[in-house]
Chains A and B, each alone.
Chain A
């Protein structure tokens, strides 16, 4: 039943119980194999998003369930996980009220810290390697405190700066699965492109040259899982194609 916040007439909704199959693994008992644990949740007493169900399970049923979360509005990127086979943010993924169960797995081909928390250390190290900050060759002139940028140049960054580094795209890419040590992956390459085409940055050519090897960019075979799965609607596949194009013409 649903409680009314204002204390008025309450329409009693019948409980709509759905199963959640959640990947569990405990590093304190590493010999126990990872397994799927089932939880029943009344969707009529739960928020609409998968994260709401996870929090409800953790609150009411099993407080050992471990997952990352923060903003609950799709802007921090913490709750990235594989829901029914698709990498998205749990706070943006609506629970399918018609399906009998929802499967929740950690991001694919990532080492698991606990339950559905992946180890993103290598992902962040790769992000650091592309030097995601503004680099200038000349010091600013006396009196000039801003780096000016035209509106047209700023428009080029639209669709690139919004990346929240949730790792959904990189972990959906088969090339990244097989070669994550050396292939940078769509998320990092999107950001590499974002800095390459920033008109305020002076090191575009050096950034391109740093990627001149068979692995960093060229393991991309335009599989396009990345663009398909991005929860923010960005297009890493296109950014990678633009990097290849700029590198090809050098």
Chain B
């Protein structure tokens, strides 16, 4: 609490009030009170392209689900569902990991969770493929469970 970052008085006051190191707080002041926050490096892939892709998958799931409900099982819609659903869920869970365990605050846990999620998505993709190919298919499964 009493770490003194700068020699000047203002720096000392702000250091007393708000300086928290990375280990024990979500927020910490870098630099003096007069310096603007430095925005992270620009990366469209992680930025707007990622957001666009998320919304694209979400939107495509709407007609896909409707046709599956109305039309019943069909190999193509099952294939699309079996690919898009795991990716959609992966992006959703990944957003949660970024929110609650960002790499700047919990570097190890973030890595562990991200890679576990990737592994789980791969297993889900494989599982959907197996189920769609050698079993009744996803739409048929939902139908069976619904009417069971």
Contact = CB atoms under 8 A, between A and B. Distances in A.
Interface string A187-224: 00000000000000000000001111111111101000
B99 A178 contact: yes
Interface in B32-72: 33, 35-44, 46-48, 50-52, 55
A128 B36 contact: yes
Interface stretch (A16-24, A43-51, A76-84, A242-250): A242-250
B29 interface: yes
A126 B37 contact: yes
A129 B39 contact: yes
Main secondary structure, interface of B, reads: loop
Nearest to A175: B99
Contacts of B1: 30
Contacts of B31: 125
Contact of B27 (A27, A113, A181): A181
A119 interface: yes
Interface residues of B, number: 35
Contact of B18 (A122, A182, A221, A248): A122
B28 interface: yes
Given A111-B27, A119-B17, A215 B40 contact: yes
Contacts of B99: 175, 178-179, 219, 221
Contacts of B51: 218, 244, 247-248
Given A179-B26, A180-B27, A213 B37 contact: no
A122 B43 CA distance: 23
A122 B52 contact: no
B33 A121 contact: yes
B53 to A, nearest CB: 10
B14 A213 contact: no
A218 B17 contact: no
A248 B98 CA distance: 20
B43 A213 contact: yes
Interface residues of A, number: 36
Contacts of B47: 211-214, 217-218, 247
A125 B40 contact: no
Contacts of B14: 121
Contacts of B100: 178
Contacts of A216: 39-40
Interface of A: 27, 30, 109, 111, 113, 119, 121-122, 124-126, 128-129, 175, 177-182, 209-219, 221, 244, 247-248, 250
Given A109-B26, A129-B37, A248-B48, 8 more contacts: A119-B18, A121-B14, A122-B29, A126-B36, A129-B38, A211-B39, A213-B39, A214-B43
Interface of B: 1, 14, 16-18, 20, 26-29, 31, 33, 35-44, 46-48, 50-52, 55, 95, 98-100, 102, 104
Q: Which 6 A-B pairs have the closest CB atoms?
A: A212-B47, A128-B36, A129-B36, A213-B40, A129-B37, A247-B48
27 contacts: A111-B20, A111-B27, A121-B33, A122-B37, A125-B29, A125-B31, A125-B33, A125-B36, A177-B26, A179-B99, A182-B40, A211-B47, A212-B42, A212-B43, A212-B47, A213-B42, A213-B47, A214-B46, A214-B98, A216-B40, A217-B47, A218-B50, A221-B95, A221-B99, A244-B48, A247-B48, A248-B48
